[in-house]
Amino acid sequence: MPASISSGYRGLVYKVAVPSPLRRVFDYLPPEPNQSIATGTRVQVQFGRRKVVAYVLDKASNSELELHKLKPIYAVLDSEAIFPTKLFSLLQWCAKYYHHPLGEVLSAASPGKLRSSIPLYPQEIVYRANSNIDQSELNSLSRAPRQRALLKFIKKNSSASRDEIELAGFSAAIVKSLEEKKFVERAERNLNSLELFSPLNSVNPSSLELNSQQQQAFDAIKLNGDKFNCFLIDGVTGSGKTEIYMQVMQQHLSEGRQCLVLVPEIGLTPQTVNRFSKRFDCPIAVLHSNLTDNERLDAWRRARAGSVAIIIGTRSAIFTPLPNLGLIIVDEEHDGSFKQQDGFKYSARDVAVMRGREENVPIILGSATPSLESLQNAESKKFSYLTLSERAGGAIKSKTTIVDTSNEILDSGFSEKLLFKIDQHLTVGNQVLVFINRRGFAPILSCTNCGWIAECEDCVSQMSVHAKPPSLRCHHCGIAKQLPILCPTCHEEGLTTIGAGTQRLENFLEQRFSTFPVIRIDRDSTRSKNKLTSMLNQIQIGKPCILLGTQILTKGHHFPAITLVAIVDADAGLFSPDFRGQEFMAQTVVQVSGRAGRAKKSGEVVIQTRHSTHKALIQLTQKNYKELAMYLLEERKAASMPPFAQLVLLKAEGNTLNESINLLQRMNKVSIKLIRESNSNIRTVGPVPAPMEKKAGRYRAQLLFKAENKNTMQQFLTQFVYQIDQIKLSRNLRWSLDVDPREMI
């Protein structure tokens, strides 16, 4: 009989998650026979031709692979797991729920620096006793009592740094002799001497006295105690949500528990951080995208060691290890920046709720314009709904006027009525905010002679005209070109700009209101942090001026001298092809409007539209955001769209549209078969070219899945992803999943 076919290696192997698009774990041998490595530890492994940082998931007593196919782990990087147990299981949940490779999820959740082989904590040189010394050698020290004493000291402490040795009263020369005689040797030790922060007093003298609505909300949160519950605070801008956050935080900080605060954008809102640091005399770490890798690692290390009390951060801060987590807050929970759109696509808000559950701590979501998802969770009692309908601190609610521009000739986008109002407010010494959701000078450059339109060659999209510096720019891929003088097609002089962006409005307003400064705040004007700070300072002084800007302005700034907010054009959102278009429009309008009349001065909001009878706009202005949101929820329910159904978008990207569509067609065959076999209630739409068919030179297509039941969707996806993962892709073809997509582009 032939020898039986060997069934793989028997012996200790580690299951390792490697950051790679492959959705599977890999077996590696321990570096030393039977060396034990804890789950969650970072290791370095040879993967293909590269050495990569990977994560130990599990161990096993055998492998399906033969011994000669197994490589040993190249290096164990840390002596402990990088993520605490509960965070590690949250990350595993993320990989499962978003169907993203675990190795990539773990890597995305780590600070950039730790994706290379540097140690978790800085290392210092220490001395250890050499274990091979025998008694006779020791006897040779009998005539060197200081050396013997130091050796004893090092043995007792298992290791000692130069500083520790010096503190104990031994000179450098004594260590040197011991080292030369090989009684001690050098080793590295993790420098993790960070101390836990000291709990605050439970009463903070600068806390404000809460008004009755605030008190009700605070009491409800306090009554819940330390355990998991998700609170949704639906409170108009200026209603004192932040004051509630701070008072709840005070409770947890006084118990020595850490508070994690997620905000949409901090680089732009130093005011938020200032408010927290003024209130709390405790260590605060700030985590956002403008930090250098070293700054980020440093903040992360201190948070992980429990030595910072408050962590304020953007999206990815949700993955910060916090040994004493007590409370999570997500401010402006509706904000789109909480959704990661590329790579590992996740919603930091949703992950935050999951983290609260996993760590059994309370979580507060706050917004003046809660997402329809969160409002529905409140309706169905999954979240506890708390509402603040009045502005705190005596500010008066602003008055909203709609200006119908359908029969008007506009001057650079402004109606006479609006210009008159701007003039009025400036003349009495107030500030005016003009909002337009488009940067650049104009969105379109066109030829009046032949109809040519400037388009980006790499994206199926028009290029915007910029005046400063003069250029054509693609807002999708960032490419910039020289502004042509003649039409590139008919070579005539008929080029003209259509529509208006911030730069054109800036020119116009500067001419029209020449005695007042115009301060433009958009992505182009705020590239430099110093420039932004100086612009914000100029506004804070409170002299009359026009503040002109995009979405950036809606993010939490306090501008007490603004009394008029003008929304130049509300129409794009009303007729957006995106099913969330009206929700987003309403959120933007309300958020921008919230900048008016924040202090003692009353405010006024003017909205220009060509569709003044649009139902959504009427609901919003005559009633309020909540009324409109409830109406939109009814519509979503009738159409069976989120939050009443789950969407998953399968995206493909290739060098030609055909290639991308073909791949999705192949994948769709798999899905049709799976859905038929399991008789699941899942609908597919597509494959179709993506709304933005070409971006940065790549052709994009998509296939949409919709299910009314999340479990049905999850079961389907698990099988589906497993099967499509086996499809061999040609070199330039890529696919990815977006579970709960926010935008359909």
Q: Which residues bind Zn ion (CB under 5 A)?
A: 447, 449-450, 452, 456, 458-459, 474, 476-477, 487, 489-490
Q: Which does 239 bind (CB under 5 to 8 A by kind): ligand ADP, Zn ion, none?
A: ligand ADP
Q: Closer to ligand ADP at the Cβ: 334 or 466?
A: 334
Q: How many residues bind ligand ADP (CB under 6 A)?
A: 15
CB atoms within 10 A of CB 267: 14
Of 128-136, 147-155, 205-213, 543-551, the segment contacting ligand ADP by CB under 6 A is 205-213
40 binds, among ligand ADP, Zn ion, none (CB under 5 to 8 A by kind): none
Q: Which does 210 bind (CB under 5 to 8 A by kind): Zn ion, ligand ADP, none?
A: ligand ADP
Of 189 and 558, which has the nearer Cβ to ligand ADP? 558
Interface with ligand ADP, residue 370, by CB under 6 A: no
In the bound state with Zn ion, the residue whose beta carbon lies nearer, of 404 and 693, is: 693
CB 395 within 8 A of CB 597: yes
Distances (CA, A) of 373 to 315, 382, 567, 582: 18, 11, 26, 14
Closest CA to 231 of 387, 383, 389, 388: 383
Of residues 200, 252, 246, the one with CA closest to residue 226: 252
Buried b / exposed e along 384-419 (16+ C-beta atoms within 10 A)? bbbbbebbbeebeebebebbebeeeebeebbbeebb
Does residue number 392 form part of the binding site for ligand ADP (CB under 6 A)? yes
Residue 104 binds which one of ligand ADP, Zn ion, none, with CB within 5 to 8 A depending on kind?
none
User: Strand, coil or helix: what is 664?
Assistant: helix
Q: How far is the CB of 456 from Zn ion (least distance, A)?
A: 3
Distance CA 304, CA 293 (A): 16
Q: Is 211 in the site for ligand ADP (CB under 6 A)?
A: yes
Residue 214 lies near ligand ADP (rule: CB under 6 A): yes
Q: How many helices (H) and strands (E) does the chain have?
A: 21, 32
Binding mask 430-459 for ligand ADP (x = CB under 6 A): ------------------------------
Tell me the per-residue interface mask from 234 to 273 with ligand ADP, x by CB under 6 A, - otherwise: -x-xxxxxxx------------------------------
What is the distance between the alpha carbons of residues 683 and 667, in angstroms, rounded to a whole number? 14
Output 266 or 649, the one with its CB closest to ligand ADP: 266
Q: In terms of CB distance, is 235 or 597 closer to ligand ADP?
A: 235
Residue type, 486: L
C-alpha to C-alpha distance for 321 and 253, rounded to whole angstroms: 17
Site string for ligand ADP, 594-613 (x = CB under 6 A): --------------------
Alpha carbons within 13 A on the beta-carbon side of 286: 20
Decide whether 43 or 375 has the Cβ nearer to ligand ADP. 375
Span from 128-136, 231-239, 423-431, 505-513 in contact with ligand ADP (CB under 6 A): 231-239
Q: How far is the CB of 477 from Zn ion (least distance, A)?
A: 3
284 binds ligand ADP (CB under 6 A): no
- Restricted to residues 496-525, the positions that interact with ligand ADP (CB under 6 A) are none
> In this structure, are residues 441 and 504 in contact, taking their beta carbons and an 8 Å threshold?
yes
Query: CA 202, CA 193: separation in Å to the nearest integer?
Result: 27
CA distance 594 to 562: 10
- If the CB atoms of residues 318 and 364 are measured against ligand ADP, the closer one turns out to be 364
Separation of alpha carbons 349 and 331, rounded Å: 9
Q: Are 115 and 152 in contact (CB under 8 A)?
A: no
Task: Pick one of Zn ion, ligand ADP, none as the site partner of residue 242 (Cβ within 5 to 8 A by kind).
Answer: ligand ADP
Rounded to 5 degrees, what are φ and ψ at 501? -120, -175
Question: Minimum Å distance from CB 237 to ligand ADP?
Answer: 5
The residue to which tokens 């992950």 are assigned? 351
Residue 393 interacts with ligand ADP (CB under 6 A): yes or no: yes
Pull the structure tokens for residue 548: 């002109």
208 binds, among Zn ion, ligand ADP, none (CB under 5 to 8 A by kind): ligand ADP
CA distances from 215 to 222, 243, 333 (A): 10, 11, 21
Largest interatomic CA distance in the chain: 105
For residue 388, the minimal CB distance to ligand ADP (Å) is: 7
Residue 490: CB minimum distance to Zn ion, A: 3
Q: Which among 202-210, 350-358, 465-473, 694-702 is the span making contact with ligand ADP, rule CB under 6 A?
A: 202-210
- What are the tokens at 655? 């060098």
Could you say which of Zn ion, ligand ADP, none residue 458 binds, taking C-beta under 5 to 8 angstroms by partner kind? Answer: Zn ion
In this complex, which beta carbon is closest to ligand ADP, that of residue 159 or of residue 214? 214
Q: Contact region for ligand ADP (CB under 6 A) — 17-25, 106-114, 209-217, 542-550? A: 209-217
The total of other beta-carbon atoms located within 10 Å of residue 231's CB is: 21
Tokens representing 383 are: 């979240």
| 721 touches, from Zn ion, ligand ADP, none (C-beta below 5 to 8 Å by class) | none
520 binds, among ligand ADP, Zn ion, none (CB under 5 to 8 A by kind): none
Q: Name the β-bridge partners of 386.
A: 233
For 203, 314, 317, 368, the CA distances from 311, given in Å and listed in that order, are 21, 10, 8, 23
Per-residue tokens: 22? 């492959």
Question: Of Zn ion, ligand ADP, none, which one does residue 478 interact with (CB within 5 to 8 Å by kind)?
Answer: none
Q: Which residues bind ligand ADP (CB under 6 A)?
A: 208-211, 214, 235, 237-243, 392-393
